[in-house]
Amino acid sequence: MKTLILGGVRSGKSRLAERLAVQSTLPVTYIATATGDDAEMRARIEAHRAGRPADWSLVEEPLALAETLRAHAAPGRCLLVDCLTLWLTNLLSDVENDRLDRACAALLEALPALPGRLILVGNETNMGVTPLGELSRRYCDTAGRLHQELAQRCDGVILTVAGLPLVLKGDPV
């Protein structure tokens, strides 16, 4: 079972993902893509850490997501990736210009063969105006294309708004 959870900032998507991981009753590996580049982000990361069950394992991987998923996916295990859009930001900031496209392709290629339960969390960035600036538009375009491709490959897709899940594809939550 593969689930994609999308929503705006502070929409409740991470909380929902964590609830679904707990409900799976499987051992959970939390794959964190954030980097603590400033004090505010470090505080956000620490708040997320403090709220997670102590028995969950943690893998911090800001760039090599497909490889990390392949290494940790297993029958009878739940992987929770939080978050795809921070991962994209990290890749956009990387000095290798073509790394973003290669990493997205690798993720999409790896996804169907991953065993176990997978929960992917990402920010829905394309519900407003077209952003100013080439980099911002590239980010939104890349996130939108990636989310569409992931939605096709996932069993469930959920949009969260104000803490409420709206199931777009799959079983009710």
Q: Are 66 and 104 in contact (CB under 8 A)?
A: no
Q: For 17-61, how does the pLDDT look when each residue is reduced to its tens digit (9 = 90+)?
A: 999 999 999 999 999 998 888 888 888 888 888 888 999 999 999
Higher-confidence residue: 85 or 44? Answer: 85
Instruction: Kindly tell me if the per-residue pLDDT of 96 is higher than 80.
Output: no
Q: For 128-167, how does the pLDDT look when each residue is reduced to its tens digit (9 = 90+)?
A: 788 889 999 999 999 999 999 999 999 999 999 999 999 9
Which pLDDT does position 35 carry in this prediction? 86
Residue 68: CB atoms within 10 A of its CB come to 20
Mean model confidence pLDDT for the chain: 94
- What's the CATH code of the domain at 162? 3.40.50.300
Which pLDDT does position 46 carry in this prediction? 86
Reported confidence tier of residue 103, pLDDT bands at 50, 70, 90: very high
Does a structural domain hold residue 129? Answer: no
Q: What pTM was estimated for this model as a whole?
A: 0.94
In whole angstroms, what is the distance from residue 153 CA to residue 28 CA?
Answer: 21
Which pLDDT does position 66 carry in this prediction? 98
Expressed as residue numbers, the domain containing 26 is: 2-122+134-169
- Specify the number of domains making up the chain: 1
Element (H, E) at 107: helix 99-110
Q: Give the residue ranges of DSSP H helices in 24-98.
A: 39-51, 65-72, 84-93
* 11-15: long-range pairs with CB below 8 Å, 24+: 11/160, 11/161, 11/162, 11/163, 12/160, 12/162, 12/163, 12/164, 12/165, 13/83, 13/121, 13/122, 13/123, 13/160, 14/48, 14/82, 14/83, 14/121, 15/163
Which pLDDT does position 43 carry in this prediction? 87
Catalytic residues: 48
